[in-house]
Amino acid sequence: MAERITSSARLRRILAIVPWVAEGDGPTIEEISARFDISRSDLLADLWVVFMVGLPPYTPDTLIDVVFEDDRVWITLGDYFRRPLRLTASEGLALLAAGDAGADASGGDGPLARALSKLAAALGVNLGDEGELDVSLGSTHPETLRLFNDAIARNRVVEIEYYTFGRDEVSRRQVEPARVTAKDGAWYLVAWCRQAADERVFRLDRITSAEVLDERFEPHGDMTSEVGYVAAADDLRVALRLDPSARWVPEYYPVLNCKPARDGGVTVTMAVSELPWLVRLLLRLGPAATVVSVEGGGGETVATVRSAVLGAAEEIAARYRQ
């Protein structure tokens, strides 16, 4: 009597068979059976299971396609396999910690060690000599942090040169720093901005230069600004129809809502504070994104957004032709 295989062992077998067949040019059932030491009947049973693997709404592009012809087998993976796997920071750190422990056990500089080095670089983490993880928040230079912490302690005005990502412009302004804080892997400065005559938040890695002045200031009391982007009531509300290849957008940028579509894409609504930021995003997405609606802001419409994107594309093309 044949030994009964567990569901977990069968799953591992299927996970090994599928990519091997998908990379081949129609291997025969006999070749697959010999390669994985599996009977013909068990192989066919496994392949019928693969037929039912996919993601909602289970349209053809989200299913794994298995084709039999003249005793040969072809497997075509669903479109979602073309999207790069994106780990959250906590998932990546957990994977790094576990992998680092395994690397210490196996030792050396093999494939695992090289993969961990790449993951650590992506996360901004240093692997210590004794397996310790030294987490680095953002790309801010330690000297910049010391400069602002010193200015805060002594109530000194700082003149900064700051790049505003949303408007794609650099400005020079004097600020009265209140506190330095970190969020989502980046450092921020909460300060009173004399140019705006109001409380503002600045990302430290977008401060291109900073100089502590001799002038002192009286603190403005508690500053409660949240770090990172916080949607304002008068910001644009833009609805985008995203193809399956652009489903990474709501995973990377904050969205107000996200509705899946039948073809595997999504429709998202985003709050946008600056039109140039939206234009750059749409240029990056290309035909994978369609502007569905635009509300609020300064009277922008779908037509004005499309016109801005077209103008930016023509300007980029002109630079390449020079």
**Could you read off the pLDDT of 12-21 as tens digits, one per residue?**
898 899 989 9
Return the CATH number of the domain spanning residue range 7-82.
1.10.10.10
Q: Which residues pair with 134 in a beta bridge?
A: 126
Cα–Cα distance between 270 and 239 in angstroms, integer? Answer: 6
Residues written for the chain: 322
pLDDT, residue 280, reads 84
Question: Which residues of the chain are in CATH 2.30.30 domains?
Answer: 142-216
Q: What is the pLDDT of residues 90-103, one digit of tens each?
A: 677 777 776 765 55
Q: Which of 1, 64, 9, 65 is nearest to 37 (CA)?
A: 9
Helix then strand count (H, E) for the chain reads: 9, 13
pLDDT of 59 above 50: yes
Q: Distance of alpha carbon 221 from its chain centroid, rounded?
A: 36
Q: State in Å, rounded, how far the first CA of the chain is from the last one.
A: 76
Please give the order of strands across the beta sheet that includes 186-193.
198-203, 186-193, 169-183, 156-164, 207-216
pLDDT of 122 above 90: no
pLDDT of 132 above 60: no
- Across all residues in the chain, what is the average pLDDT? 80
Question: Which residues of the chain are in CATH 3.30.70 domains?
Answer: 236-321
Question: Which residues of the chain are in CATH 1.10.10.10 domains?
Answer: 7-82
Total-model pTM: 0.42
Provide the pLDDT confidence category of residue 105 given band limits of 50, 70 and 90.
very low
Q: What is the pLDDT of residues 236-285, one digit of tens each?
A: 899 999 998 888 888 777 788 888 888 888 999 988 878 888 888 888 88
Cα–Cα distance between 63 and 162 in angstroms, integer? Answer: 48
- If 0-12 CB within 10 Å is exposed, 13-18 middle and 19+ buried, where does residue 125 land? buried
Return the CATH number of the domain spanning residue range 142-216.
2.30.30
Tell me the fold of 236-321: Alpha-Beta Plaits (3.30.70)
Q: Distance of alpha carbon 5 from its chain centroid, rounded?
A: 39
pLDDT of 203 above 90: no
**DSSP for 41-64?**
HHHHHHHHHHTT-B-TT--GGGB-
